[in-house]
Amino acid sequence: MSNRRKFIKYSAIGGLVTIISSAFKTKKLETYRDIKIEKPIVISTWNHGLPANKTAWEILGKGGTSLDAVEQGVRITESDPTNGSVGLGGRPDRDGFVTLDACIMNHKNQCGSVAFLQNIENPISVARKVMEDTPHVMLAGEGAYQFAIEKGFPKKNLLTDGAKKDWEEWLKKSKYQPVINIENHDTIGMLALDSLGNLAGACTTSGLAYKIHGRVGDSPIIGAGLFVDNEVGAACATGLGEAVMRIAGSSAVVELMRSGATPEEACKEAVDRIIRKHDSVENLQVGFLALDKNGQYGSYSIHNGFNFALHTSNKEKLIDSKYRHKQ
Ligand code: ASP
């Protein structure tokens, strides 16, 4: 292609991007003209977000930081043995090992992550230690475990009797078909804006039930399961991690907000992007959740069934997400 033709092609694309982003901007200005910044605020995925938000609020409500709030908030879910998709009690992989993925990110784009971590109940706190005590962002597997032990985290068997029984039942057929829950109880992703106006996020999961040993999903991947940019907003994802990673989902949501999309519009566009990249989304669920700098929030999922928990100074509730397809 000649340079001139290339230039015309790219200028046309540039023009289109400008039109799209100014369309978002116009809308944003109209929507936000009179808004009062809502802070502190915390939102998190699924109904296990309600008790997790309560703990996060104990910190936020007293003027604490969003980083402390999201870490302490999701630890509640991680330590709940009745929750089969996060931390203790999480469903194992197909070989019977509970392997955990988690990441955390603060308002300075500092982040920490652990993947394929075993025998540690609170991977989110290990991820925070990676962020604060090492020059790295991500530790995986045995190295992440050794690091956790060095930092004083106790070794713990995370396979509860209930999860073991379900796995043994699954073994009878051993049908390898990771099915993503369309109903409640998956990854917890939590986003918070504190009274100083700083955003932070956390994401933690045991991943897909009966996955291949060694599989890592989107949840510990900065930009996929979670992304925070304090100039703009924060986003997290739940659902089939492979689909989220393919579009760098949470990063995409934040970039769309940067271009002027509201949190819900940004989540919706990311969902549509996933739908466009798949021949069928019949058995595929992904939900995005986003919070912007002004404390505005929104979500969107491929199918109905996704919900999120909200906590502000005067509201504490579960909200059904908007979605593309009804199942
Ligand atoms: N996103 C998680 C994963 O793929 C699972 C989930 O949210 O259900 O590991």
Query: pLDDT, tens digit, for every residue of 78-101?
Result: 999 999 999 999 999 999 999 999
Average pLDDT over residues 196-219: 96
Amino acid at 151: K
pLDDT on residue 174: 80
- SS3 call for 227: strand
In the chain the first and final C-alpha atoms are separated, in Å, by: 46
Q: How far apart (Å, rounded) are the C-alpha atoms in residues 290 and 19?
A: 23
Average pLDDT over residues 141-166: 97
More confident residue, 20 or 298: 298
Task: Flag the least confident range among 32-41, 273-282, 299-308.
Answer: 32-41
- pLDDT tens for 254-295 read 999 999 999 999 999 999 999 999 999 988 999 999 999 999
* pLDDT at position 3 over 80: no
Whether 324 and 302 have beta carbons less than 8 Å apart is answered as: yes
DSSP label of 279: S
Residue 231 structure tokens: 């100039």
Burial of 186 (0-12, 13-18, 19+ CB in 10 A): buried
Q: How far apart (Å, rounded) are the C-alpha atoms in residues 267 and 311?
A: 20
* pLDDT at position 1 over 70: no
* pLDDT at position 131 over 90: yes
- Which residue has the least CA distance to atom 6 on ligand 1? 239
* pLDDT at position 216 over 80: yes
Atom of ligand 1 nearest to the CA of 207: 9
Atom of ligand 1 nearest to the CA of 101: 9
pLDDT on residue 14: 43
State the CATH architecture for 38-325.
4-Layer Sandwich (3.60)
Residue 327: Cβ within 10 Å count: 12
Q: How far apart (Å, rounded) are the C-alpha atoms in residues 149 and 207?
A: 22
**Interstrand relation of 138-140 and 111-117 (parallel, antiparallel or unpaired):** parallel
How many CA atoms within 13 Å lie on the side-chain side of 135?
Answer: 0
* pLDDT at position 49 over 60: yes
- Which residue has the least CA distance to atom 4 on ligand 1? 241
pLDDT on residue 166: 93
How many CA atoms within 13 Å lie on the side-chain side of 41?
Answer: 21
Average pLDDT over residues 135-162: 98
The packing angle between helices 141-150 and 123-133, to 10°, is 80
- Known catalytic residues are 187
Atom of ligand 1 nearest to the CA of 225: 1
Q: What percent of the chain has pLDDT over 70?
A: 86
- pLDDT tens for 59-71 read 999 999 999 999 9
pLDDT on residue 162: 96
Amino acid at 211: K
* pLDDT at position 2 over 60: no
Domain ranges of the chain: 1-34, 38-325
* 43 band by pLDDT with thresholds 50, 70 and 90: very high
pLDDT on residue 55: 98
Ligand 1 pocket mutation pick from 238, 245, 286, 306 by most atoms within 8 angstroms of CB: 238
